[in-house]
Amino acid sequence: MKDFDSLVGIWNAQKTTPKLDYKEIITQYKTSRNKLSIKITRELLAMAIAMAIIAYLALKVEFSLWTSQLGLLIIFSCGVYFITIQMINLKRIAHSNTLFDKPQDHIRFIKKFRAQRHTQHTTNYKIYSATLTLGTALYFIELAYHLGTVYVLLAGVITLFWFSIYYFYFLKKYVATENEKFEEMIADLERLDLQFRDIEE
* Model confidence pLDDT, tens digit, residues 43-65: 999 999 999 998 988 888 888 88
Measured in whole angstroms, the distance separating CA 140 from the mean position of its chain's CA atoms is 29
Q: Which residues contact 156 (CB under 8 A, 6 or more apart)?
A: 137, 140
Q: Is residue 2 part of a domain?
A: no
Q: What pLDDT, on a 0 to 100 scale, did the predictor assign at position 117?
A: 87
Domain assignment of residue 118, yes or no: yes
HSE at residue 107, side-chain half, CA atoms within 13 A, is 15
pTM metric for this prediction: 0.75
pLDDT tens by residue, 133-159: 898 888 888 888 787 778 878 888 888
The answer to whether 44 touches 83, Cβ cutoff 8 Å, is: yes
In a domain, 14, yes or no: no
Low-confidence ranges of the chain (pLDDT < 50): 1-16
Does residue 114 lie within any of the structural domains? yes
* 66 part of a folded domain: yes
Residue 16 lies in a domain: no
pLDDT at residue number 84 = 93
Asked if residue 73 is part of any domain, the answer here is yes
User: Is 30 inside a domain boundary?
Assistant: no
pLDDT of residue 5: 47
Give the structural domain span for 193: 35-92+102-200
Structural domains in the chain (count): 1
